[in-house]
Amino acid sequence: MPVLSPKHLISFFKKEFGVQVSPGTVYPIFKMLEHEGYILRLPNKTNRHYALTLKGRQAFEDFEDYFSDVSRLLDKLRENLGSTNS
């Protein structure tokens, strides 16, 4: 089961996008996701680690499907725009 912590997410945004996200932004989001049943806090006294619940995995898959569809539509639009510029 993949495990994620707010600290990992903050580091990811910094490394991948060059964006410094504050803990004051990330921790409330994790709390809301936990409250809504998308993630589960794992027992750990030193750090906050979370795992996706079944509900969270399904939402993630739905999210991936949606953005995959959006990406395909954008590709088609790009192709059509390219063919009209010739």
pLDDT tens profile 52-71: 999 999 999 998 888 888 88
State the Cα–Cα distance between residues 22 and 33, nearest whole angstrom. Answer: 17
pLDDT tens column, 8-51: 999 999 999 999 999 999 999 999 999 999 999 998 877 889 99
CA gap 48, 3 in Å, rounded:
10
Using CA atoms, how far residue 28 sits from 22, 32, 83, in Å, is: 11, 6, 46
> Considering the entire predicted model, what is its pTM?
0.72
How many angstroms separate the CA atoms of 53 and 69, rounded?
24
Class of domain 1-52: mainly alpha
Is residue 55 within 8 Å of residue 38, measured between CB atoms?
yes
Q: What are the domain boundaries of the chain?
A: 1-52, 54-86
